[in-house]
Every structure is written in structure tokens, then in C-alpha cells.
Structure 1
Amino acid sequence: MRSELLAHGLGGSTDLPIPVTYALIGGAWALAASFAVLLLAWKTPRLSPDRHMVRTPLAGVVDAPAFRAAVGAASVALAVWVGAASVLGPQDASNALLGVFYVLVWVGLVPASLVFGPVWRIVSPVRALYRVLPHGRPRTLPDGIGVVPAVLGLLAFVWLELASSDPGSVAAVRTWCLLYVVILLGGALIFGEEWFARADPFEVFSDTVARLSILARDTETRALVLRNPLDGAATLPVRRGTVAVTATLLGSTAFDSLAQTPSWKSFARDLGDPVLIRTAGLLACVAVVGSAFWLAARTTGGVTRERRAQLPGLLAHSLIPIVVGYFFAHYLTYLVEKGQQSVFTLFDPFDRGWNPLGIADASVNYALSSHPSVVASITVLCVVIGHIVGVTLAHDAALRLLPKKDALLGELALMLVMVLYTFLGLFLLFGA
């Protein structure tokens, strides 16, 4: 069941049009070369979070009460529909809940947030439900909590997907979703809507990725504007848990690749409880990714102790394009092909032979899986481009945040970490 649900369809190293060793070396050299170019040609900060290109009239539509009410009603109706399917539908990998949960929500949030901005704030069924429930004056949420509750939610999600005994269990996913609703709704009734921004793992995930969206809000007028996505990256709020969010997203995806390799499978098979081993491996990957970045961000001179402690959070936005690139590299085929099947399932979730749109006989288009060399090439490009953009963001931020004479050392440490991420990422994606 797990293989049916979570197989991502990624080509192996033999599908690359060049030897995998060349891809690894080429990716590392591309990153190093881009860093050298940046040092020579980008000597002053050029990115501005407050700059935008074009103002659009979309805010009037998106913020209209009728639009929000319609979207909220649709999201709650869809959630109820999928929830009913989880109970009354087939209790196997064809259940609509699994496709919505793992594909349309988790993986689909990345492209949706890149295009439309922080979409989960609008389409979240729990937010919509909260708005129609009676609630009193909210308590103040302690600022020191940061986004730690959301980090715990993200860890709970990736544990269910990658380390639990049966991630394809409809009952397990249904239980996870029920706890998600209870915790978020209960917290919001106490602390208000701010609880969603701090505790909803999907909202924090969407908001993080949306920093690279071309669509954004003007901070003063609240108008929807078009902007350079690189300008928006540095708007990522620096809160407790910010680095942990990016480390969890990147480290869990790396572990998913690691878990598919023959070496890991052989290693895990020889040890004890597979759930315990996978849990330890998942946490280790997240910890390694986060610790490497945290240490590199603090490796600079000429700053106070307080400023040094702030640097990992202030530079965390440079990891966003790496997370996005790795998600596309890892999940592209999964999203396109399993996503089609997930949508088809929504029209007949109870397996009754319904055909409301005449698509009952539609078949999934496996064009990507039919061209593994193309998928493999896209994979390499996604990883390398994500890291080059990450180095660019880190370079511009270092020029703004660090003393000029000490900026090179700080940037060099970050560049070396990103080269390591590139090398290991490609190595794991192509089967080690």
C-alpha cells in the first residue's frame, strides 16, 4: 500500500543523459561559479522587500466578504466530502482522503503558494469554520512561542508519511486530520486567528513558500502587487522556530530519498523496530540539515553576540528556494500523475460508479514517467537552480547584515553548506 501511495516516479541514476558523477560535480561547480560571479558583480545590496513592480486590482476581489464566504463554504464542503469518503469509501490506497492529504494538499501547496501567495490562509477549512463559530475576545498568544507549534505539526506530518508503520492507512490519516482540526480549532477559540499563523503546519508551510511568489501584499495599502520574487524572500518573519521549519521541510524530503536507497533498506532491515529506526533517521536528517545551516550562519566575525544569535533566522529565507527546488525535484512526477488520479477519485469517492463529469473512463497521463531521462534532467535543474537562487539570497542578505570586511567568511561558510546540500541531494535523489 505504501508503494502505491507514495511512489514518486523519479528516474534513477541510469536515466540521466549524463553519468550521475558528472551531474554531482557539475552541480557543485555551478554553485561555486555562481558564488564567484556574485562576489565580483553584486557588491551592494540590490533586493528590497518593500519594492513592487505593478499594482493589481485583485485585492478588491480576494478581500470581498462574498468571495471569502464562497471559498470558505467550498473548502468546508470539500473537507466534509473527503471526510465522509474516509469512512464510507474503500479502505485502501484508492481512498480519496489519501490523495487529497498527501498529494493535493502537501505537495500541491508548493506550486499553489508560488503562484498565488499564501493560499492556505484563504482555503483552510478550519479557518473558515472558526469564522462562523461564536467566540469571545482572544487571549494574547505569547510572542516567544514563535512558530514552534507549527514545527511540531510539520514533524507530525512527515513522521506519519515517512516513519509510521503504515502511512497508507486510511484510519491513521483520518485520526491525524481529526487531531489537526481539534488542536487548531481549540487553540483559535482561545487565542484567535493568530493561532493559525503560529500553529497550522500547512499555513506556515504555504506562507514560507509564498515568500517567493510574484504576487504579494503591499505592507501599507494591503493591495495585491506583482513583485520580483527575490525581493519577497527576505520578508520571511524571524521567529522562534523559523530555521526549524525550513530544516524540517528540507531534511524530511532528504530522508524520503534516503529511505528509498538500497543501502538504507539493507541497514534498516538488519536492525530492530523499523518504526523506531525510520523515526531516528528522519530526526537525524532534519537535525543535520538544520545544524549545518545554523553553524554556517553564525560563522562570521565583526558582530556582537546578540547579532550572531540572530543571523540564522535572518538568513533562513535563503533556504526557501532550496526547499522549493528539492520539492519539485522529488515530487514532480508524483504531483502530476498521482494528482490526476486524486482528482478523479473525488468525483466517485464511495466507489459507486458515479460519473458526473463524464470522466469515469479517464486515464492518468503518464507522459513524465514515460520519459525518465527528461524527469532526471528536470530533477538536476530544479536542485541546482534552487541552490543558485539560495546563494544569491544569502549573498545579498550578507551584504546588508554583516560588516563588509567579515561578509566573505560568513558567505563562504553558507556556500560550502549549500554545495554539500547540492551534492548530497542529487546523490540521494538518484539512488545513492
Structure 2
Amino acid sequence: MTVLAHGVGQSQDLPLPLDLVLQAGAATVVVSFLVVAVWWKRPRLHLAEGPERPVRESPLRWLVLAVTLYLVGNALLGPRGPENPAGHALFVWLWVGLVPVSVVFGPVWRQVNPLRTLFRLLRLPAAGLRPLSAARSDFPARPESPVRPESPAGAESPAQPQSPAQPKLPAQLEVPARSELPARSELPARSELPARSAGRWPAAIALLAFVWLELVAPHRGEPVVVGGWLLGYGLVQLACAAVRGEEWFARGDCFEVYSELAGRLSPLRHRNPLAGVAHTAPGPGLAAFLAVWWGSTIFDSASGSPAWAAFLQRAGNPILYGTAGLILLCASVLVSVRVLSGRLDVTASLIPIAVGYTLAHYLSLLLVEAPRGVLLMVQQWGVAEGVEWNMAPTPGVIAAAQITLILIGHVLGVVVAHDMALTAAPERPPLATLADELPVVLLMIGYTWAGLFLLFVR
């Protein structure tokens, strides 16, 4: 199976010369920063966000589980040629299609995640056993009994409590009464603590494994390779969930975290999508995940250039250099986010940028290959035989849409970063806050240039 093409836009398809497009991108970031600096004097997004709508299970999870099992089995045992839809299912439907669906409807993968559904099914025959965290909370509370002082061996315990004349310990050394201690059911289960402290790091590592498969691994388009990776990924995730509990998927399944972050922009999930982005829990794990997400997409653009192909032809060993280049680029994005952003942790403001660049980079792939994958699957069932999907998007229209998506993502990122800066230091002078934001703006200008240049220069 040939590797799926990721874009049709080229520099000659741009509505303007490339240098003017790059200047327009930088000007858009700067102008949007100046506008919000003048008109956005106080934080607003923290007031615009009400309680999140609960994420409910969808009855579609059974259909998604059935389709997933079919596709994995078909990838391992079905046709070995390009008529097998396994590559389309993983690289187009899931990796690309999950972004626009989540932006519209919210974190849909949590509702239909086949790994969650399978995890619950596998726990049904366990003779009514429940996870450790649930079992601990069901123990009956011990009956209260007065605390008595220790007595020497063989001596009778005093019938009366200690005399009130006994010297009282200082307040900071007093032992709290049993009634003041938290109930056993209120204490976090031991198995849940590592998952909480790990944040999104497990999902970042899982995402790095996936993008390595997509961009570097040999024979990555062959159905057996796709099916084997999906099977191995599912087994690892289920094993970790068996140890950490079902909420492991919210931190360890890269596709669920991927959908959750893109769903922060959903108007159906949040009254104000920008408020949903601004209220994303910060931390190194979030920065690592976004670095892999955005950095891998940039690497995809860079690895498609003639310069990279010529380098690999001279140096040889494409797996080694491809792996090194992918890790180095993702690490560079992570360092730039954590260091160049200065004293502000505005990592969440990169979510609109990552979403915009992903949609721009894979736009033609989604339009061309997603319907073709559906057609390949139904043709295996004897439906629509002989039908072909040969849609050819207009390059100029695709290029204009790609530029628009990238610039919208950066403008939204600037607005979120400015509001987060005002929220983090409400008493700080306005000019000092703007000075803190300047490294962030310069970083976003660099991201804009890199995204536009690598997207259209091959």
C-alpha cells in the first residue's frame, strides 16, 4: 500500500507570493496582539466559562467497538494490498478526522473509546470484584472506642480516662481525634496516585509512538503493520488500565487526550470555546503532548521536502535519521514552549495553533482519502463494486483555506495567551504584563513562519 499523500498545496498554488504570505502571517499575529492589548484590559475568559457539560457515554460506543474489532481483524487476516482500508482507518479517520469532529462536538473519543468499552466488558465476569479504589471505600467504618493510655504488661487497664489535670500538649503537637481524621473512603486509592501525578506524560509518550509509526516506520502503510500496531497498542493500554483503573485512558490513551484537547474549542461543550482552552489544566505533561502533536506535524511537512529526501539519500539509514529528526523537533518545540514563554505558563494557548495547523496540513488528505477509505471497506462486503472516488480538490482553494486555518489558530492563541497573562497577575501593571507576553508573541510569529513555509515549500 502506498503512503497516503498529506497535501496538494504548493507554493505556486498560493493566492499571493510566498514572501507576502509570510509577512501577512507575522503581521496578523502582531496586529492581533496590539488589538487585544488595547481593548482587553481585564481577564474575561475565566468569567465566561460556566460548569462543563458532563461527558456522557454514547450508544455509538458499541458500533465503534464492532468496527474497530473488524478493522483490526481485517488488517491482520484480510487482503494485503491497497484494497484493505486499515491505513485509512488509522491515519485518516482516527488521526485526522478526530480533530474536526472533536472541535464541533467535544471530546467524542471519551464517549465512544473502544478501549474503555472493552475494558468494562472484560471486567464483567470477575465475580463481582471491583477496582481496588471502589472496594476500599465500601469497608464499614470501625466502631469508635475511647483511646486509653498504654498500660504495663500484666496490669489492668484503668477504668476511667486520663485525669484532666494532665499537662496538655501544644496545639502544633496535638494528635487529632479519630473523628477529625478523614474517612478511609475519602483517601485516594494507592493505585490512583501515580496516574494523577503522571499528568499527560503517558499520552505524550503514546502519541510519540504513533507518530513514529506514521512518519518513520518502514512499511507503515501495509495492513499487517497497521493491525499489529493497533493490537499491541490496545493490549498495552488495557494492561495499564487494569493496574491504574479506567481513568488511565484519560491520561494514557493519546487519542482520548487528543480528542479532549481539540474538544476544548467545541461550542457545544463550552459556552465560550476560548474559555474552555484557557481553563485547560497546565503542566509539563500538557506541554509535552502539544510538542509531540505540533512538532510531528511540522516534521511531516519538513520530511516531504526535496532537501530532506536528498539528505537521506546521501546519508542512508532513514529509520535512524528519521527517528532522530522527529525526536529533536518535538524536543525543540517543548523547550521553546517551556523556556521562551518567559514567566508565563501559556501552554494551553498552543491548542488553537495545533488544531489550526493540523486541519491545514491534512485538509486535502481528509477530503480525498476519508471517503475513499469508507468505499474500500464497503466494497469488501460486496457493496458499490466498481465505484471509484477520484475527487481532485482545487489547489488554489485548498491553499487559501490552509492559510486561513493557520492564521485563525494563531489569532485565537494570542487572545488566550493575553487573557491567561492577565489572570495570572491581576495586580501587575499593564505594561509589565505586555512585556511578559512579548516572548510569547515572538514565539508565535516563529511558529507562523515555520508552519506556512514548511506547508508550501517542497
Give 1:363 shift: 3.0
Could you tell me whether the CA contact under 8 Å between 1:28 and 1:419 is conserved in 2? yes
The answer to whether the 8 Å contact 2:251/2:257 transfers is yes
Q: Are residues 1:317 and 2:348 paired?
A: yes
Contact 1:49-1:233 at 8 Å conserved across structures: no
CA distance in 2, matches of 1:181, 1:49: 40
Q: Secondary structure at the match of 1:5?
A: coil
* CA deviation after TM superposition for structure 1 residue 189, in Å: 1.7
2:385 alignment partner in structure 1: 360
Q: Which residue of 2 aligns with 1:223?
A: none
**Percent of pairs identical after alignment?**
40
- TM-score of the pair, normalised by structure 2: 0.81
Which residue in 2 is equivalent to 1:283? 327
| Whole-angstrom distance in 2 between the partners of 1:275 and 1:327 | 24
Give 1:424's aligned residue: 450
Please say if 1:136 is aligned against 2:130. Answer: yes
Q: CA deviation at 1:287?
A: 1.3
Structure 2: which 5+ residue stretches go unaligned? 124-128, 133-190
1:256-299, CA deviations, whole angstroms, 9 ceiling, x for partnerless residues?
000011111112221131101111111111112121121122x2
Distance 1:290 1:40 in 2: 30
The corresponding residue for 1:412 is 438
Aligned with 1:48: secondary structure? helix
Amino acid at match of 2:337: F
The number of residues matched between the two structures is 391
**What's the RMSD between the two structures over aligned residues?**
2.0
Equivalent in the alignment of 2:11: 13
Distance in 2 separating the partners of 1:406 and 1:320: 25
Partner of 1:328: 359
**Higher gyration radius (CA):** 2
Q: Say whether the 8 Å CA contact 1:5–1:93 is kept in structure 2.
A: no
1:50 to partner: Cα distance: 5.8
Counterpart amino acid of residue 161 in structure 1: E
Structure 1 residues without counterparts, runs of 5 or longer: 217-225, 301-310
Which residue of the partner structure matches residue 256 of structure 2? 203
Distance 1:48 1:344 in 2: 45
Shift of 1:320: 0.5
Matches within 5 A, 1:264-413: 264-297=308-341, 299-300=342-343, 311-312=344-345, 315-349=346-380, 354-355=382-383, 359-364=384-389, 366-368=391-393, 371-402=394-425, 403-404=428-429, 405-413=431-439
What one-letter code is carried by the residue in structure 2 that aligns with 1:244?
A
1:52 Cα offset (Å): 4.7
Give the distance between the partners of 1:175 and 1:387, measured in 2 at CA: 37
Distance 1:264 1:82 in 2: 33
Tell me the secondary structure at the aligned position of residue 45 of structure 1: coil
Question: How far did residue 103 of structure 1 move?
Answer: 0.5
Residues 235-269 of structure 1: per-residue CA shift (max 9 Å, x gap): 21224411011111100000000001111111222
Q: Do structure 1's residue 91 and structure 2's residue 80 form an aligned pair?
A: yes
Cα distance in 2 for residues equivalent to 1:31 and 1:239: 25
Give the CA deviation at 1:168: 0.9
Give the 3-state SS of the residue equivalent to 1:413 in structure 2.
Answer: helix
Alignment-mate amino acid for residue 67 of structure 2: L
Contact 1:47–1:230, Cα closer than 8 Å, also in 2:
yes
Name the amino acid aligned to 1:376. Answer: A
Amino acid at match of 2:108: V
Determine if contact 2:371/2:389 at 8 Å carries over to the other structure.
yes
Alignment match of 1:177 (pick from 226, 230, 247): 230
**Structure 2 counterparts to residues 58-77 of structure 1, below 5 A:** 63=56, 68=58, 70-77=59-66
Residue 189 of structure 1: aligned partner: 242
* Contact 2:48–2:271 (8 Å) recurs in 1: no
The one-letter amino acid paired with 1:317 is A
Aligned partner of 2:38 in structure 1 is 40
Instruction: Name the stretch that deviates more: 80-89 or 195-204.
Output: 80-89
- Which deviations, in whole Å up to 9, do the C-alpha atoms of 1:356-398 show, x marking residues without a partner? xxx3344325242xx1011111111111111111111101111
Tell me, yes or no, if the aligned pair for 2:72 and 2:231 is still in contact at 8 Å: no
CA shift at 1:96, angstroms? 1.6
Displacement of 1:141 in angstroms is 3.8
Query: Deviations along 1:301-330, whole A, 9 cap, x unmatched?
Result: xxxxxxxxxx43xx1110011011101110
> Which SS does the other structure have where 1:17 is aligned?
coil
- Once the two structures are superposed, residues 206-257 of structure 1 have per-residue CA deviations (whole angstroms, 9 ceiling, x without a partner) of 11111111122xxxxxxxxx51211111221224411011111100000000
Cα distance in 1 for residues equivalent to 2:293 and 2:230: 19
Shift of 1:412: 0.6
Aligned twin of 2:187: none
Structure-2 residue corresponding to 1:256: 300
Deviations 1:130-174 (A, max 9, x none): 112226324324122111111110000000011112221222222
- Contact 2:84/2:377 (CA < 8 Å) preserved in 1? no
Q: TM-score of the superposition, structure 1-length normalised?
A: 0.86
Matches of 2:417 and 2:7 in 1, distance apart?
32
Matched, 1:152 2:205: yes
Preserved CA contact (<8 Å) 2:282 2:348: no
CA distance in 2, matches of 1:326, 1:10: 15
1:10 to partner: Cα distance: 2.4
- Contact 1:10–1:330 under 8 Å retained in 2: no
AA aligned opposite 1:36: L
Report the 3-state secondary structure (helix = DSSP H, G, I; strand = E; otherwise coil) of the residue aligned with 2:49. coil
Give the stretch that moved more between structures: 163-172 or 18-27: 163-172
CA distance in 2 between partners of 1:428 and 1:367 (Å): 22
**Alignment partners' CA distance in 2, 1:38 and 1:362:** 52
One-letter identity of the residue aligned with 2:424: L
Separation in structure 1 between the aligned mates of residue 7 and residue 385 of structure 2, nearest angstrom: 24
CA contact (8 A) 2:207 2:254 kept: yes
Distance 1:324 1:131 in 2: 31
Q: Is 1:25 the counterpart of 2:57 in the alignment? A: no
